[in-house]
Structure 1
Amino acid sequence: MTTGSPARRLAEDASRSLEPIYELLGQIADEVLRCLPPRATLSEAHFSTLHRSLAERLQREHAVWGMGFIAAPFVVDGLERYMAWWQRNNDRVARLRLNFDPTSIDVYDYLQMDWYQLAKRGQARVAYGPYVDYSGSDMYTITATIPVVADGTFLGVAGADLVVGEVERKLLEVLRQADEDAVVVNTERRVIAANTPRWFVGSRLPAMPAVGSTADPSSFRDVAEMPLGTGWVVAIAWPENDTDRSRPQA
């Protein structure tokens, strides 16, 4: 793989198409930091401006189901769990309220979820999914998050639930520039978008795409990681033959 490879060029263009998502999360994180009181304990009351901003943004951002701030334990009002999260359902925008009671059988324990844990561990940009968000939007989604940090202290994450179809559409506009079969794959080997019926969104490849010879049915002609910072890769396939070169797994 060379710097000027076809996969590298597609990866750069694909990253640019999704960069606005993380610019949005950066703006949410900045708003959270502006809510911090200079000396008092952070409370729900300090987020009044943030809540208004989230509701207004969500009216305009039709590529996302929901967005907001998810706090680390005891950061807000001494609560172990706290979310300032707004969600869109058709044309209605409302604040999402979930069950955080740890003694309840249906507690929403976001502290254990990958999109939270990865950001907590220092990953600057997380994109988890696609998956069906049964506890939140009930939609097929990708959750994007970034850590919110003040003076070296992890406060939580700024996040957004992305409409998978919109993410796929943006990526397809890029992949269709390629003459060969091309696919975007996430860190869990799941297909995010492809310009060919050889793969379908959400399917899982047997292995992460890697460059290899035509003798290896799982190899690709060219592979490049997207500069977006999520670990997603763009892979260009060898021409199809009688062998199914990259049969997806469920």
Structure 2
Amino acid sequence: MSVDVDVTAEHIARQIASTIDPVFAMIDGWRDVLERELAGPYAGALTGEGEPTAEKLDPVVAALASGELEREGSLITGAGFVAAPGFLADAPWHLAWWLSGSNTFGPGSGLRRLTTVDDPDSEQFRDYTTLEWWRVPARTGTRHLTGPYVDYLCTDDYTVTITTPVRVGGDEMVGLVGTDLYVARLEQVLLPVIRESGHPCTLVNASGRIVASTDARRPTGALLRIEGLAEALTPLRDAASVTDAAWLPGGEAVVPCGDTSLALVLEA
């Protein structure tokens, strides 16, 4: 028996989108500020008479991210800017990333800078351009939601990372702005909404990886393996704007959650 996608299911999808959309808008605003500061008549704010430097850029990024990281009830646990290799004259590899007080990763507490290894010759160095949250936006030129995944770089816990390209001089990507969200925090906010469906219901990303589920047998981070699901999610992976529900061979309904690249899977 197939699941009827009624007004309630569509309402839930809209509620999920409305939870994530403010984070998207915030990141887009940060991108716009950095692009203005790095281009045209604004460039002097960061570059002076020379090339862009981490010394000048980092305080701007900190000012953008710190307010939201310190805001009570914020969904985000980390945020900042990641530079394209070689873009900054004084830091060929550079992460300007800050952690909130709710982020328990690494030493210290409260708002603090993430400690990174930026020397490619170090055994602890990690090439961030190989990671999904960099690779996909660099290829598509658009915002990307990565995860859930265990983030051993910034949170050491199940995390969703949202990143979007920063460009100057036309199409040149000079880095990314983005933020981390603990999946456990997202579950607290989204599960009560998802339960309103009245059906077994699972929220997945565009790859079918589970963000939250009303079924305890479907753990966060695992792939939801249902016949036809991968094909139904293809438009989300292609960054297409999808609004209509799809039905799987087993009768399950797949309902897109706005342009978040997330979808609800409702089972009979």
Q: TM-score, normalised by structure 1?
A: 0.81
Residue in structure 1 matching 2:121, options 100, 103, 114: 103
Residue number in structure 2 paired with 1:23: 25
Q: Give CA deviations for 1:123-153 in whole Å, capped at 9, x if unaligned.
A: 5221111222222222321111111122222
Residue in structure 1 matching 2:137, options 107, 119, 125: 119
Segments of 5+ residues of structure 2 without an aligned counterpart are 103-108, 233-246
Structure with the largest fraction of helix: 2
| Partner SS, residue 124 of structure 2 | coil
Q: 1:123 to 1:183 in 2, by over 3 A?
A: farther
What CA distance in whole angstroms lies between the structure 1 residues aligned with 2:110 and 2:14? 35
Instruction: Give me the CA root mean square deviation.
Output: 2.5
| Partner SS, residue 177 of structure 1 | helix
Residue number in structure 1 paired with 2:97: 85
Residue in structure 2 matching 1:212, options 242, 248, 256: 248
What CA distance in whole angstroms lies between the structure 1 residues aligned with 2:222 and 2:192? 20
Query: Contact 2:78 / 2:98 at 8 angstroms: preserved in 1?
Result: yes
Query: Contact 1:221 / 1:237 at 8 angstroms: preserved in 2?
Result: yes
Residue number in structure 2 paired with 1:53: 64
Residue number in structure 1 paired with 2:267: 237
Residue number in structure 2 paired with 1:69: 81
What CA distance in whole angstroms lies between the structure 2 residues aligned with 1:176 and 1:206? 21
**Consecutive aligned runs of 4 or more in structure 1 exceeding 6 Å deviation:** 1-5
What CA distance in whole angstroms lies between the structure 2 residues aligned with 1:206 and 1:4? 24
Query: Contact 1:141 / 1:163 at 8 angstroms: preserved in 2?
Result: yes
Residue number in structure 2 paired with 1:225: 256
Q: Give CA deviations for 1:144-197 in whole Å, capped at 9, x if unaligned.
A: 111112222212111111111222223223212211111111133221112233
Q: Give CA deviations for 1:184-240 in whole Å, capped at 9, x if unaligned.
A: 111332211122334232222224635235xxxxx343112222242x2211101xx
| Partner SS, residue 165 of structure 2 | strand
* Letter in structure 2 aligned against 1:95: R
Alignment size in residue pairs: 232
Q: 1:226 to 1:118 in 2, by over 3 A?
A: same
Q: TM-score, normalised by structure 2?
A: 0.76
Query: Contact 1:71 / 1:156 at 8 angstroms: preserved in 2?
Result: yes
Q: Give CA deviations for 1:16-43 in whole Å, capped at 9, x if unaligned.
A: 1211111121122123224321574211
Residue number in structure 2 paired with 1:194: 213
